[in-house]
Amino acid sequence: MSKTLLMKGNEALAEAAIIAGCRHYFAYPITPQNEIPAYLSRRMPEVGGTFLQAESELAAISMVLGAAAGGVRTMTSSSSPGMALKQEGISYIAGSELPCVLVNVMRGGPGLGAIAGAQGDYFQATRGGGNGDYRTIVLAPGSAQELADFTIDAFDLADEYRIPVLILADGYIGQMSEPVVLPEPTGKTFKKPWALTGAKGRSKNIIASMKLIPDTALEEHNLHLQEKYDLISENVRRIETYHTDDAEWLIVAYGTAARIARKAVDRLRAEGVKAGLFRPLSLWPFPDRELYELARNAGKVLTVEMSLGQLVEDVKLSVNGAVEVDLYGRAGGAVPALDDIIERIKSYERENHTHVQAS
């Protein structure tokens, strides 16, 4: 096993990309993800790869499209305002069914906002983000170790399904240094007969999102994409649960919010309140069935997020009215306070509510 290192989350992710075989990285500087391009600007030349600081986010994501079309593993990273700019290219990549890995180390918005960590891009990440009817796989790491591990996973998923895979981390996860054991490569390989390598010994390949002829071509393409998304929805459901078996309170959270929620579960249990944590590791596809079952068993659900009502929408869609769902959200770089989570649940317990007010 590799040695445990104290690594910054952003750097753990960058090294994991190298381990996963990514040799083409294109990006534009923005805080709080700057350690990723800085790290890869040193590492890529060492491994014979390409690091290129693009002239814009639009250019960076377009370079990713070009490299992906060439059949190589490629990645870009950014933070919230930059990610908004990348949506053009992400939509084209989704429509063209190209594999790539995207990283959003989120900061507070809207607009320029501020550089402290936040989770305000949940809707953008999980609903496609750009124009058209498409999805990207969204993975939500909660530690420097997971930033590395999920990156390895992301490259395989991207190649397996020919889809952009987004790693959605808040700024704290990216900026924090923690013990990390660098992952091993999976060794999986994927054939890419569709790649644009020149039409030597085969008929020409064309990669385009535009479908004009016949009139039904675009709907057929969308239906094909939807079939793929349905398949992914069955196959890529990632969750972590903590003390959910006998939980009477289910807290739902991801990223930094989930770390704090987990601590709240410990504290609440120490005080006799049976709390549990449901942590989606894939935000799209969202593990709705799993959440439904556990929420129904628990009876009471509190969503904790570093945004003001985004994750909670998926939670409500998942439980589908079976139980009521409360929200504790912080925004603009604030993190949920441990004591506030505990007090919120205890105050309901004190008042012996039979149900929770919908937020």
Partner 1 sequence: MTEELIIAGFGGQGVLLTGRLLCVAAMRLGKQVSHIPSYGAEMRGGTANCSVVISDEDIASPVIERPSIVIALNGPSVAKFEPRLRPGGLLIWNSSLVKQAPTRSDLVLVSLDAADRSLSEGTERAANMAAIGALLKLKPDIVPMEAVEAALDEVISARNRKHNPVNLRILHAGYEITKTINAA
Partner 2 sequence: MSAKTIPMYKRPEGLTDVRTHYCAGCGHGIVHKLIAEALEELEVLDRTILIAPVGCAVLAYNYIEVDGLEAAHGRAPAVATGLKRALPDRMVISYQGDGDLLAIGTGETIHAANRGEDITVIFVNNAVYGMTGGQMAPTTLEGQKTLTSPYGRNPADVGFPIRACEVLDTLESPVYIERTSVHNPASVRKTKKAILKALKYQKDGLGYSFVEILSMCPTNWGVEPVTGAEWVKDAMMPWFTLKKFRDRPEEKKEEKQAS
Where does this chain bind partner 1 (CB under 8 A)? 4, 6, 31-32, 115, 172, 175-179, 256, 259-260, 262-263, 335, 337-338
350 binds partner 2 (CB under 8 A): no
Amino acid at site 160? E
SS3 245: coil
SS3 76: strand
The residue (of 9 and 285) whose beta carbon lies closer to partner 1 is 9
b/e sequence 224-257, b meaning 16+ C-beta within 10 Å: ebeebbeebbeebbbeebbbbeebebbbbbbbbb
- Would you give the binding string for partner 2 spanning residues 263-292, x where CB under 8 A is met? ------------------------------
129 binds partner 2 (CB under 8 A): no
Choose the contact partner of 337 out of partner 2, partner 1, none; CB within 5 to 8 A by kind. Answer: partner 1
The residue (of 124 and 175) whose beta carbon lies closer to partner 1 is 175
201 binds partner 2 (CB under 8 A): yes
CA distance 329 to 260: 13
The 3 state secondary structure assigned to 1-53 is: CCCEEEEEHHHHHHHHHHHCCCCEEEECCCCCCCHHHHHHHHHHHHCCCEEEE
The residue (of 218 and 335) whose beta carbon lies closer to partner 1 is 335
Residues 66-95 interacting with partner 2 (rule: CB under 8 A) = 66-72, 74, 88-89, 92
Choose the contact partner of 309 out of partner 2, partner 1, none; CB within 5 to 8 A by kind. Answer: none
Q: Are 213 and 246 in contact (CB under 8 A)?
A: no
CB of 65 vs partner 2, minimal distance in Å: 5
To 5 degrees, how large is the angle CA 227–CA 232–CA 236?
A: 170
122 binds partner 2 (CB under 8 A): no
Amino acid at site 8? K
CA distance 157 to 290: 21
Task: List the beta bridge partners of residue 103.
Answer: 77, 167
CB of 22 vs partner 1, minimal distance in Å: 25
Among positions 16, 26, 97, 281, the unique one binding partner 2 when judged by CB under 8 A: 26
Q: Under the rule (CB under 8 A), what is the footprint of partner 2?
A: 24, 26, 50, 52, 54-56, 58-60, 62-72, 74, 88-89, 92, 96, 196-201, 204-210, 212
